[in-house]
Amino acid sequence: MDNLIEIRWHGRGGQGAKTASLLLADAAFNTGKYIQGFPEYGPERMGAPITAYNRISDTPITVHSNIYEPDYVVVVDDTLLESVNVTAGLKTNGAIVINTTKSAEYLKSVLKGYEGKIYTIDARKVSMDCLGKYFPNTPMLAAIVKVTGIMSDEAFIQDMEGSFKHKFAKKPEVIEGNMNAIKMALNEVKSI
Amino acid sequence: MSIRERLSGNEASAFAMRQINPDVVAAFPITPSTEIPQYFSTFVANGAVDTEFVAVESEHSAMSACIGAEAAGARAMTATSANGLSLMWEMIYIASSLRLPIVMSLVNRAVSGPLNIHNDHSDAMGVRDSGWIMLFSENNQEAYDNLLMAHRIAEHKDVMLPLMVCQDGFITSHSIENIMLEEDSEVKKFVGTYKPEHYLLNRKEPIAVGPLDLQAYLFEHKAQQAKAMKNAKQVILDTAKDFEAWTGRHYGLFEEYKLADSELAIVCMNSTAGTAKYTVDRLREKGIKAGLLKVRVYRPFPAEEIAKALSKCKAVAVLDKSDSLNAAGGALFTDVTSGMFVNNINVPTVNYVYGIGGRDVPSTDIESVYTDLAEIAKTGNIGNPYRYLGLRTKEGK
């Protein structure tokens, strides 16, 4: 497992964190990597906290367990920050990416002194602007690709176009909005 | 040429079934195997296969329909998990005793109760003495490959036994991972067509299937089943040899990972073997002679081969993902240690029951087993041979 990157997703049931983790696995796979994308299934229901995972590596991945010391954490819903220990085991040379409009002071206080990098994006704004509905997973996917740098913006955009054409074969009207959300999110994610 | 893809274990299994294109698939949905008949029914609806898909009302009927189809001379497949397999129980024994080479994908899950949908091996262990060949799979690739080899083994004239391919529910069934797939035409060629010697729809040879079998013959019929299970071992190896010549992927009765010179060895099955490989590599970097024996073929059980492979170790731990609740040890432990005993191999061996009901198995847990083994190897003191791994204690550990 050379150059292994481990990512943990925190979201709420229905927000598409699992789908985002699978799309990230797809995108990394298309760059020639070895990948894993898997959710931690619990008592699934709308609104309940859920966790999903990614491993991305240059060589085959044999480990089949949850991820306890991730390089990156993605928080799809900032209401989880006070109820879930999202930085548990997160490497200090890694980063956390949060969908939020909250202040830097607030975030630093709820992240209990996490020393790594903190990135934020207003995925609600991106989604409402581009899709007219709140689907935070597409902007969050773009945000984590940008932060990890696992592929270039151009390669990612090109790859997602193919993925969406496949995924939304029966609803082609949503492809453009999702592509716009990807492009906008790549520019909106910022470090605090 | 092999095709580089990424699929979940369930997707890979359904993909294999599409390529095999059996005559009949009868299934009833149950988590975490539901996706297999779900994806397969899409293949049926799209005309990608010409299989007769029988959407039955229960697993008992699913196995019954497979039995009827195979007895008629068709190739039948199904998929299930946990309580679905429990409901098939009566028909599981009928399938093997009628010598019907049905192939099942068993996505392992804890048998209730209380209700739990997550992975352990209690479903598979419940049918370990039912006369089915049982292959276990570390990941999506092995679940796929084992299914491609399944019919060649089950339908072999020296075998004629049903076969189940096991994989870990959710852990591999729902994890997207890299996989190498084979071309449809190549799979078709490798799997071949099923030409049963005796079957109900043969007008030239009227036969009865499943009549009363009392004191005069049942014993002999059971001995024939046992013989077939013994024969299966060589057929499994021969099939694996042909499979390797075709795909380049090697399979045996079990996989030895850095076992040849190892002093401390773990024996386990399915996805945990992958985590153990990672742990072995890390320990080897520290100079610890750790190794792994991953059981692929659980039935027939390669007792002598496993015993010999472990004979040079100083301490062995057998990991059971199902508790036999017998106050003595898990099923794999009992099989491995009895194999060692009858082959005069005396290596200190302990049992760990682990991962019950989907309890996650991190590499740190596996590492702790090797730490325990090092102590046993040093002192020669086994202590309690029947242990837990990853069990929460009152102290909140």
CA distance B377 to A87: 39
Contact B6 A35 (CB under 8 A): yes
Judge: A66–B360 Cβ closer than 8 Å, yes or no.
yes
Instruction: Identify the closest residue of chain A to B357 by CA–CA distance.
Output: A42
Which pLDDT belongs to residue A28?
A: 95
- Of B125, B377, B109, B379, the C-alpha closest to B262 is B377
Superfamily covering domain A5-191: Pyruvate-ferredoxin oxidoreductase, PFOR, domain III (3.40.920.10)
Sign of CA dihedral B4, B9, B14, B18: positive
Tens-place pLDDT, residues A47-93 = 899 999 999 999 999 999 999 999 999 999 999 999 999 999 999 99
Cβ within 8 Å, pair B176-A37: yes
CB within 8 Å: B275 and A61: no
pLDDT score recorded for residue A183: 97
CA A133 to chain centre: 18
Instruction: Give the separation between CA B389 and CA B266, rounded to whole angstroms.
Output: 13
ipTM: 0.94
Q: Are A10 and A86 in contact (CB under 8 A)?
A: yes
Contact A15, A77 (CB under 8 A): yes
Q: Give B219→chain A minimum CA distance, Å.
A: 44
Residue B211's region, left for phi above 0, alpha for psi from -120 to 50, else beta, is beta
- The DSSP 8-state label assigned to residue A117 in this structure reads E
Domain boundaries, chain A: 5-191
Could you give the CA distance from residue B2 to residue B246 in angstroms, rounded to a whole number?
Answer: 10
Nearest neighbour of A22 by CB, restricted to B117, B138, B176: B176
pTM above 0.90, yes or no: yes
pLDDT tens digit sequence for B55-73: 999 999 999 999 999 999 9
Residue A31, amino acid: T
Q: What is the pLDDT of residue A44?
A: 67
Mutation for B interface: A18, A63, A170, most B CBs within 10 A: A63
What is the least distance, in Å, from the CA of A188 to any CA of chain B? Answer: 29
| pLDDT the model gives residue B397 | 54
* CA distance linking residue A169 with residue B137, whole number of Å: 33
The average pLDDT across B270-275 equals 98
- Confidence check: pLDDT of B7 > 80: yes
Spatial CA neighbour of B25 closest among B56, B53, B67, B63? B53
Give the closest-approach CA distance of B5 to chain A in angstroms.
8
Chain B contact for A26 (CB, 8 A cutoff): yes
Contact A38/B175, CB-based, under 8 Å? yes
- Band (B354; pLDDT cuts 50, 70, 90): very high
For residue B396, the model assigns a pLDDT of 59
Tell me if A63 and B360 make a contact (CB, 8 A cut-off). Answer: no
Q: Which residues of B touch A (CB under 8 A)?
A: 6, 117-118, 138-139, 168, 170-172, 174-178, 271-272, 274-275, 277-278, 360-364
Output the pLDDT for position A163.
Answer: 87
The total of other beta-carbon atoms located within 10 Å of residue B193's CB is 8
What pLDDT is attached to residue A166? 85
The pLDDT of residue A82 is 94
Which domains can be identified in chain B, with CATH numbers? 3-247 (3.40.50.970), 254-389 (3.40.50.920)
Q: Are strands A72-75 and A117-121 parallel, antiparallel or unpaired?
A: unpaired
Distance from CA of B230 to the nearest CA of A (A): 32
Residues whose CB is less than 8 angstroms from the CB of residue B354 and which lie 6 or more positions away in sequence, other chains included: B272, B319, B320, B321, B361, B365, B388, B389, B390
Q: Is the pLDDT of residue B116 over 90?
A: yes
Mean pLDDT of B5-16: 98
Pairwise CA distance, residues B352 & B18, whole Å? 38
Tens digit of pLDDT per residue, chain A (192 long)? 789 999 999 999 988 899 999 999 999 999 999 999 999 887 667 889 999 999 999 999 999 999 999 999 999 999 999 999 999 999 999 999 999 999 999 999 999 889 999 999 999 999 999 999 999 999 999 999 999 999 999 999 999 998 888 888 889 999 999 999 999 999 999 999
The predicted model gives B157-174 an average pLDDT of 98
Chain A CA closest to residue B282: A1
Structure confidence at residue A1 (pLDDT): 75
Q: B279-311: per-residue pLDDT in tens?
A: 999 999 999 999 999 999 999 999 999 999 999
Q: How far is CA A6 from CA A29, B64, B212, in A?
A: 14, 45, 59
pLDDT (tens digit per residue) in B172-227: 999 999 999 999 999 999 999 999 999 999 999 999 999 999 999 999 999 999 99
Structure token digits, residue A171: 């609803």
